[in-house]
Amino acid sequence: METNSKRDEILDVAEAMIRNAGFNAFSTRDVASAVGIKASSVHYHFPTKVDIGVAVTERYTDRFLKQLGDPTRFKGGAGEVVSLYVNSFRETLVRDDKLCLCAVLGAEIGGLPQEIGGHTRIFFDRNIAWLRKALSGSSKMSAAEANAFAVHILAALEGGMILSKSLGKEKLFESVAAMLKKLCDTVSAPSDRQV
């Protein structure tokens, strides 16, 4: 049990470091120091820093999607989907006072090891797929419309987080969220009238 808790503690510390300053801003020694163990103990769990980055990204992606839940459960319209998705990002920004891990990694993707870049793309691909499935099931959007809207939602929220955090203005994120809600109402309205 101790082994798993140390492994999780290493991942927690590494995730916080990445979300604060990026993947290239820390070393395994930094992680070891923050956890209170020797660097060799970090390497016992993760042979390389890349292994840490891959594990952090996989865990973050799985947790994020688990929190969102089953995308096929939405029946009340696209607004319900957008509201839940916005709240997931809001919690990260407001409660944790952090950026999305994969927004940070995505911004530095050109300087990342290939494995971590690949896992960062997986986060975005899986989120777009989740949104597409949720939007398709909750509205009369075509697959192409749901996909385009999914990409727009994800891009708007990631960008809104970055602007809010960079400028120190939480209201910017809320403005983006409000515009997504209005856009959702506009996109959903024609389909609703055809019912």
Measured CA to CA in angstroms, residue 72 lies from 7, 33, 96, 129 at distances of 33, 44, 28, 12
Q: What is the mean pLDDT of residues 145-171?
A: 93
The whole model's pTM is what?
Answer: 0.90
CATH for the 50-189 domain, from 1.10.357.10, 3.40.50.11540, 2.30.40.10, 3.40.50.410: 1.10.357.10
| pLDDT tens by residue, 84-143 | 999 999 988 887 888 999 999 999 999 999 999 999 999 999 999 999 999 988 778 888
pLDDT at 170: 82
Nearest to 102 by CA among 50, 158, 31, 175: 158
